[in-house]
A and B are shown apart, each in its own frame.
Chain A
Amino acid sequence: MDHIYLDHAATTPVDPAVVEAMLPVYREIFGNPSSIHYFGREARKLIEDAREVIAAEIGATPKEIIFTSGGTESDNAALIGAAHARQALGRHIITTKIEHHAVLHTCEHLEKEGFDVTYLDVDQKGRISLDAFKNALRPDTILVSIMYGNNEVGTLQPIKEIASLLKGTNALFHTDAVQAFGLEAINVRDIGVDLMSITAHKFNGPKGVGFLYIREGVLLETYQHGGEQERKRRAGTHNVPGIVGMAKAVKLVSENREEKKQMMYRLRQRMLDRLTEEGIDFAINGDLENGLAHILNLYFPGTRVEALLSALDLAGVAVSSGSACTAGSVEPSHVLTAMFGSDAPQAKSSLRISFGLYNTEEQVETAARIIAKTVSGWQKPKHSG
Chain B
Amino acid sequence: MTGKGGTGKTTVAAALALALAAGGRKVLLVEVEGRQGIAQVFDTPPLPYEERKIAVAPDGGDVYALAIDPEEAMLEYVEMFYGMRRAGKALNKIGLVDFATTIAPGLRDVLVTGKTSEAVRRRDKSGRRAYDAVVMDAPPTGRITRFLNVTAEVAGLARIGPVKNHADLVRGVVASPETAVHFVTLLEEMPVQETLDGVESLREAKLPVGGVFINMVRPELLPAAVLEAAAEGGFDPGELALGLKAAGLADGGGGVPSIAGALAAEVKEHALRTVLEQRERRSLAEAGTPRYELPLLPEGADLAGLYELAEAMRAQGAA
A and B are partners in one complex rather than unrelated chains: no
